[in-house]
Amino acid sequence: MTSYLRSWLYSGTSSSAAAGSGHDDTSLDVPTLARISPPPDDEEDEGDETETERDNDLPPAFPALNSAQRMKSSSVPKFLTDSQLMPPPPPPSLAIRQPGVPASSSLAVPTRTEKAPTKSKKGKKVELAPGYGPLDWAALKSSGVDLRGVDTLLRIPPSVLKQHRKRDDAWSAFNGKVYNITPYLQYHPGGEKELMRVAGRDGTKLFAETHAWVNAEFMLDSCMVGFLIPEPAARDSD
């Protein structure tokens, strides 16, 4: 068996059979790889004539010059020249804009308005007499002066409210509470006339339509005379 193997190996056809033989024959002269398949001759020039031209600092080509990848296709990336590249985009339209010229696209304040401002339909503030400003009213209402004209808070039906519609005795109801508005008339920024429109009646709606942001409950707290109640069926005031 051994002699058979030896003769087979020395024939030089293959070396793989030696490893798979399963025999521990150390005397076997296992052929080297060099004998069977010599290394490929990848050193093209052995450094004799082109050694001087080559820059030794250059990195090796990738893929390698003789690689299968390079042989198979010619898709090796190349650097394109300017003429081969895609042309640059056209300049943006804004680039042709002259600075400060078109008024329509400018952020500057327009020199004139298109329409004349319209007057407010809802009336406007009146000039208050000196000493009748908001701070004067605030001072008066917290001064302790009696602005109610009644000793106790009353339950007031609309028929009673109606009786207090004179300038020197004006009551009005706002949000279910009845106030003596006479002391406030001269302090009202909308004017006496406007405020007298609600004298003797419920002014909640008109007030809300004019200036819902005004806190009448606070401004008139010291003028409160009572609460608005529905008209009683029986004729019995108070």
Nearest residue to ligand HEM by CB is 190
Nearest C-alpha neighbor of 159 from the set 195, 202, 220: 202
Q: Given the complex with ligand HEM, which of 164 and 188 has the nearer CB atom?
A: 188
Map tokens 């503030």 to a residue: 125
From 38-46, 77-85, 144-152, 211-219, give the range in contact with ligand HEM by CB under 6 A: 211-219
Nearer CB in complex with ligand HEM: 21/210: 210
Q: Which of residues 180-199 bind ligand HEM (CB under 6 A)?
A: 181, 184, 188-190, 194-195, 197-198
Q: Give the one residue of 211, 227, 232, 237 binding ligand HEM; rule: CB under 6 A.
A: 211
Instruction: Pick the closer one to ligand HEM by CB: 157 or 189.
Output: 189
Smallest distance, ligand HEM to C-beta of residue 170, A: 9
Binding mask 94-133 for ligand HEM (x = CB under 6 A): --------------------------x-xxxx--------
* Closer residue to ligand HEM in complex, CB, 155/211: 211
* Residue 167 touches ligand HEM, criterion: CB under 6 A: no
Q: Which of 5, 206, 208, 229 binds ligand HEM (CB under 6 A)?
A: 206
Decide if residue 23 touches ligand HEM (CB under 6 A).
no
Nearer to ligand HEM, 123 or 176 (CB): 123
HEC secondary structure over 43-89: CCCCCCCCCCCCCCCCCCCCCCCCCHHHHHCCCCCCCCCCCCCCCCC
The site for ligand HEM (CB under 6 A) is made up of 120, 122-125, 174, 181, 184, 188-190, 194-195, 197-198, 203, 206-207, 210-211, 214, 216, 219-220
